[in-house]
Amino acid sequence: MKKSLYILLASITILIGACDLEKEVDLNLPEFEPKLVVECYLEPGKPYRVILSESVGYFGTLDLDLPVVNNATVMITHNGIKDTLINSVFVEPSPGGNPLLAKVFNYGSSTLVPEDYNSDFHLEIVDSAGRTITATTQLLPVVPLDSVQYLYLQDSSASLLTIHTDNPNETNWYYRTQHKTVVTLDSLKGGFVLDDELITGSNNSMAVGGPPVYDAGDTAIVTLYHITESYAEFLETTAAAQQNNGNPFATPSSIKSNIVGGLGIFTGLTYFRETYYLD
């Protein structure tokens, strides 16, 4: 008996010692080939802004704060008018003044994005190494929220259910975000990409619920973006790429969007935004 007790204790000790089952390893990866990354959101009435950067290997050194790519030729063409953007630093402060959430661009122009829902916008970039990016997008009309309902939870908190009408004659994608508590867009948000195949309601209405949860006295800023299929794919594939890291259940992911020759997104950005005070 004594002997088996000893064996049991010894086994447990070894088991504990051995149970550190995560360890740092070296990945012997082939040399990383950086790809151009572009982001451009065309918001009617706002100037053209582009950020051009590069993807980075995990184990290379990063000298800059952001791996930006300068000295490229960046052109946006709309209705036959070609705009060549200036390579400089453009900072758009966050609406709430949080410096961490300010947006930085390295190409811009004074041309304002026209509110034209009919003709395409084309992007063309050639960098100093001769790498080329092209993309095409368009603006989509704003889809308003019809109503917002409170879904009360226990202890008097509530989540929001937003309802909008989908045009049944076309395939649409939406991206809905909510910002809580702070009266600006500075707070963290919860977002959903929606495909109109999910429709279940009558009158072509789409109802979207979910987090966050609000208490009395909170403010909610709800934004409904009417987005292109490429932007929906980009949002979903970038989210999947993040989730798949460390997930043994994951399927391989590759980033999809309308950018030819690199990564990123070139898209119109039209949205309906409303602030709600919860009492």
Partner 1 sequence: MIDVRLKDGNRKKFSGTGGLGLVASRLTLEGPIVEDKGSFIVSGRRTYVDVITRQVNRANEGNENYNPIPDYYFYDLNMKANYDLGENDRIFLSGYLGRDFFTFGNGDFNVNFDWGNTTTTARWNHVFNPQLFMNTTVTYSDYDYTLSNKFGDFAFELGSGIEDQAAKVDFSYTPNNDHFIQFGVSSTYHKFDIGRANADSESGVIEFSSGQKHYAWEFGAYVADEWEVNEKLKLDFGLRASGFYNDEKFYYGLEPRFASKYSVSENVSVKASYARMYQYIHLVSNSGASLPTDIWYPSDQVVAPQFSDQVAAGVSIALGENYLLSNEVYYKWLGNQVDFKDNANLFLNDKLNEEFVFGKGWAYGNEIYIEKKNGKFTGWVGYTLSWSWRQFEDILDGEAFPYRNDRRHDASVVTMYEINSRFTVTASWVYSTGNASTVPEGYFIVQKPQGEGITIVPTYVPRNSYRVPAYHRMDIGFVWNFKHKWGKSDLTFSAYNAYNRKNPYFIYVDDNRQDIIDANDGQPLGADDFSELEFTPTQVSLFPIIPSVTWNFSF
Residues 68-97 interacting with partner 1 (rule: CB under 8 A): 92, 94-95
Say if strands 103-112 and 86-92 run parallel, antiparallel, or are unpaired.
Answer: antiparallel
Q: Spell out the residues 6+ positions from residue 185 whose beta carbon is closer than 8 angstroms to its own.
A: 94, 95, 96, 101, 179, 221
Out of 110, 156, 202, 245, the only residue in the binding site for partner 1 (CB under 8 A) is: 245
Tell me the two tokens of residue 78.
């709309």
Nearer to partner 1 (CB atom), residue 45 or residue 248: 248
Q: Does the protein bind partner 1 through residue 112 (CB under 8 A)?
A: no
Q: Does the protein bind partner 1 through residue 16 (CB under 8 A)?
A: yes
Q: Does the protein bind partner 1 through residue 230 (CB under 8 A)?
A: no
Tell me the two tokens of residue 70.
């300068």
Out of 45, 130, 217, 246, the only residue in the binding site for partner 1 (CB under 8 A) is: 246
Q: Does the protein bind partner 1 through residue 251 (CB under 8 A)?
A: yes
Amino acid at 55: S
Residue 2's region, left for phi above 0, alpha for psi from -120 to 50, else beta, is: alpha
Q: Tell me the closest approach of the beta carbon of residue 105 to partner 1, in angstroms.
A: 8
Q: Does the protein bind partner 1 through residue 44 (CB under 8 A)?
A: no
Q: Could you give phi then psi for residue 234, rounded to 5 degrees?
A: -65, -45
Out of 89, 104, 129, 260, the only residue in the binding site for partner 1 (CB under 8 A) is: 104
Q: Tell me the closest approach of the beta carbon of residue 40 to partner 1, in angstroms.
A: 10
Q: Does the protein bind partner 1 through residue 269 (CB under 8 A)?
A: yes
Out of 88, 89, 103, 149, the only residue in the binding site for partner 1 (CB under 8 A) is: 103
Question: With contacts defined by CB under 8 A, how many residues of the chain interact with partner 1?
Answer: 88
Which range touches partner 1 (CB under 8 A), out of 10-18, 69-77, 134-142, 163-171?
Answer: 10-18
CA distances 125 to 14, 180, 196, 202, 273, Å, are: 60, 38, 33, 45, 32
Out of 1, 2, 81, 100, the only residue in the binding site for partner 1 (CB under 8 A) is: 100
Q: Could you give phi then psi for residue 136, rounded to 5 degrees?
A: -135, 140
CB-CB contact of 225 with 164 (8 Å): no
Q: Does the protein bind partner 1 through residue 66 (CB under 8 A)?
A: yes
Amino acid at 255: I
Q: Does the protein bind partner 1 through residue 212 (CB under 8 A)?
A: no
CA distances 4 to 7, 14, 15, Å, are: 5, 15, 16
Q: Does the protein bind partner 1 through residue 226 (CB under 8 A)?
A: no
Out of 1, 2, 29, 81, the only residue in the binding site for partner 1 (CB under 8 A) is: 29
* For residue 93, cis peptide bond before it (omega within 30 degrees of 0): no
Q: Does the protein bind partner 1 through residue 185 (CB under 8 A)?
A: yes
Out of 237, 261, 272, 276, the only residue in the binding site for partner 1 (CB under 8 A) is: 237
Q: Does the protein bind partner 1 through residue 249 (CB under 8 A)?
A: yes
CB-CB contact of 108 with 42 (8 Å): no
- DSSP assignments along 252-278, one per residue: P----SS-BSSEEEEEE--EEEEEEE-
Site for partner 1 in 156-175 (CB under 8 A): 159
Q: Does the protein bind partner 1 through residue 67 (CB under 8 A)?
A: yes
Out of 45, 80, 99, 217, the only residue in the binding site for partner 1 (CB under 8 A) is: 99
Q: Is 179 exposed, middle or buried (0-12, 13-18, 19+ CB in 10 A)?
A: buried
CA distance 131 to 38: 12
